[in-house]
Amino acid sequence: MDRIRIRGGKPLSGTIPIGGAKNAALPLMIAALLTDETLTLRHVPVLADITTLQHLLVQHGCTITLTGAESAHEHGHALQLNARRIVSTTAPYDLVRRMRASVLVLGPLLARCGEARVSLPGGCAIGTRPVDLHVKGLERLGAKIDLRGGYIEASAPQGLKGAEINFTTVSVGATENLMMAATLADGQTTLVNAAREPEIVDLAVCLNAMGAKIEGAGNDRITITGVKKLHGAEHTVVPDRIETGTYIMAAAITGGELDLVGARYDLVSAVAVGLQSAGVAVTETAKGIHVRRSNGRLNGIDVMTEPFPGFPTDLQAQMMALMSTADGAAMITETIFENRFMHVPELCRMGANINVHGSSAMVRGVAHLNGAEVMATDLRASVSLVLAGLAAEGETIINRVYHLDRGYERVEEKLAACGAEIERLTDD
Ligand code: EPZ
């Protein structure tokens, strides 16, 4: 299994290209199941999760053509997806368990084919993560759903019917699943207490380009007027705000300066405003975002994760690494997932001073972190250890790099190009 070795202590300096968002690209690829015409997606990041989803879509009958990077400076690739004929409406356990976002095929398959059988994804390292809101929402649209043998078995032989769906919890995935299903339902659907994440807006823009009638995406009330058929379209994936936020923190934790080309400030403003009060200058530029921390140490600030436009849970682990090296204390509260502090013991092995009390972590800044051999349990936890390693004195070895490869394209290349001493160790 690959590992990453970092010799820390070097301020980063240079330019990092920001890729398309993984969490936008996944539902966008799944949207291809809604039409028999070709959907072309540009700026799709090259990531393990994208490949996993390609396998799932191919077994449903989708053909996928891939073209390489669009320019020498850009990473990512373009995908052409065509689901002319759906050959299977079953999403098997073996693929769904590897990536929870696979459950998003449920709504589109049901809407297009009148039936779908999708494995329940089960829990994961960051929490139990049920899919009850997806299921209840589809039932509101008239689907009959049974949970049998670990599978969600859904049918709607007469098609789905528009309805009002009131989410009890804000859920990105449930909003996406229902929004896709409702595009082909008979009549109007209203999603109340919908998620407002930029990835939802991106999906709505793409679906509208495919002929859907969606209004209000980006607000907590989304209205979808069903149409008979969707058609092909071309769409460019929104920049990855979590990758952006991660590199903002990489510049901050090393006391460096980075230009993040292709990043969008409006997608990370909650992060930028918070970091500004911690002593990091985050500014919008013509090409993206400039970030700089050159004046001594950072101040500890309190952060609470919230649905967009609040501080994202997907940047909580990275923020904790950063606050480990700040002056004073920082209280970091996780409100989205119940078990997203798995990085804490690993950061503590590197010398961080963190105490967890329920859903909050009290981080007391230390003068410096020390390199160590560490291991992470999920994607964002692993990248928080990379950040800690970049700032630490001495050598850090990060195990289980496959977590990183799920969500960060060429992370070691991007960091090394800005002066980090980082390399991938590949076991033969
Ligand atoms: C998406 O997951 C992201 N994944 C996650 O990114 C992200 O952490 C999360 O949204 C929150 O922003 C993708 O977009 C592929 P939710 P999702 O449904 O859709 C509860 C990363 O690191 N809930 O918004 O699965 C749930 O347990 C990943 O890139 C229910 O109770 O998240 C959680 O507490 C990890 N019932 C809360 O809602 C449901 O039916 C929010 O989850 C659905 C969710």
Residue 172, ligand 1, Cβ within 6 A? yes
Looking at residues 304-329, what average pLDDT do you find? Answer: 97
Q: Provide the sign of the torsion angle of the four alpha carbons 49, 52, 56, 58, taken in this order.
A: positive
% of residues, the chain, pLDDT over 70: 98
Residue 233, ligand 1, Cβ within 6 A? no
Phi, psi of 273 (to 5 degrees): -65, -45
Asked if 62 is an active-site residue, the reply is no
Confidence class for position 71, pLDDT limits 50, 70, 90: low
Mean pLDDT over each residue of the chain, to the nearest integer:
95
- CA-to-CA distance for 233 and 211, rounded, in angstroms? 9
Residue 328, ligand 1, Cβ within 6 A? no
Q: How far is the CA of 5 from the centre of ligand 1 (A)?
A: 31
Stronger pLDDT, 293 or 29, i.e. the higher one:
29
User: Of 57-71, 255-269, 273-287, 365-379, which gets the smallest average pLDDT?
Assistant: 57-71
Residue 127, ligand 1, Cβ within 6 A? yes
**Helix spans in 65-131 (H):** 93-96, 106-113
Residue located nearest, by CA, to atom 31 of ligand 1: 130
* Max Cα distance, the chain (Å): 65
Query: What pLDDT is stored for residue 376 in this prediction?
Result: 81
Q: Which atom of ligand 1 is least distant from the CA of 101? A: 15
Looking at residues 195-224, what average pLDDT do you find? Answer: 98
Query: What pLDDT is stored for residue 69 in this prediction?
Result: 62
Q: Which tokens is 87 given? A: 């050959």
Q: How far is the CA of 283 from the centre of ligand 1 (A)?
A: 29
* Helix, strand, coil content of the chain in percent (nearest 5): 35, 30, 40
Cα distances (angstroms) measured from residue 419 to each of 250, 259, 305, 408, 412: 12, 13, 31, 18, 11
Looking at residues 161-168, what average pLDDT do you find? Answer: 98
Identify which of 44, 145, 169 to mutate to test ligand 1's pocket (most ligand atoms within 8 A of the CB).
169
Torsion, Cα 22 8 4 238, to 10 degrees, reads 10
Evaluate if pTM is beyond 0.85.
yes
Looking at residues 78-96, what average pLDDT do you find? Answer: 96
Query: What pLDDT is stored for residue 338 in this prediction?
Result: 87
Looking at residues 239-244, what average pLDDT do you find? Answer: 98
CA-closest candidate to residue 323, choices 288, 265, 280 = 280
- Taking only the tens place, the pLDDT of each residue in 359-412 is 999 999 999 999 999 998 899 999 999 999 999 999 999 998 989 999 999 999
Confidence class for position 75, pLDDT limits 50, 70, 90: low
Q: Exactly one of 113, 124, 348, 418 is catalytic; name it.
A: 124
Look at residue 73 and tell me whether its pLDDT is greater than 70: no
Identify which of 172, 311, 319 to mutate to test ligand 1's pocket (most ligand atoms within 8 A of the CB).
172
Cis bond upstream, residue 309 (ω within 30):
yes
- Taking only the tens place, the pLDDT of each residue in 102-141 is 999 999 999 999 999 999 987 677 777 899 999 999 999 9
Stronger pLDDT, 376 or 269, i.e. the higher one:
269
Query: What pLDDT is stored for residue 74 in this prediction?
Result: 56
